[in-house]
Amino acid sequence: MNITCNNCLDEFEIEPVDIETVTLADLEIQFFPCPSCGRKYVILAADAEMKRMIAERGELQRKIRRARMGKFREKTIRQMIGQLNKIISAQKKLMAELKPRAEQLLKEADHGEV
């Protein structure tokens, strides 16, 4: 994936191996740094609640796949998809709260404050 850094405007490509994971305070933070200036871009910030939702979402997605292969009733599948959409919505809301905190924790860690 091609990225343009918002800080130094360098263009670079990100590969899965470029993604770093750290645990700061109660957050597991996944991010990638700009290779030129080092600015860190948060991909995921997960606290216990987010991790629970990630696991729940994964399990529900597996159930939906099995239901479709098993020819479950459409109503049952729609109900599961409704549950999945609620989880996705809750994750987006929680991520909006966690991401700024993760960015701050990364900055503090860079300055030796954590």
pLDDT of 106: 96
Lookup result for tokens 């998809």: 81
Task: List, in order, residues 6 or more apart from 84 with CB less than 8 Å away.
Answer: 57, 60, 61, 64
**How far is the CA of 98 from the CAs of 24, 27, 57, 90, 110, in angstroms?**
12, 8, 18, 12, 18
How many folded domains does the chain comprise? 1
Query: Consecutive 10-residue runs of the chain (114 residues): their mean pLDDT?
Result: 92 94 96 95 97 98 92 91 98 98 94 71
pLDDT of 114: 54
Dist CA 6 CA 45 (whole Å)? 20
Rounded to 5 degrees, φ, ψ at 34 are: -70, 130
pTM of the model: 0.84
CB 54 within 8 A of CB 65: no
**Residue 17: which domain range?**
2-110
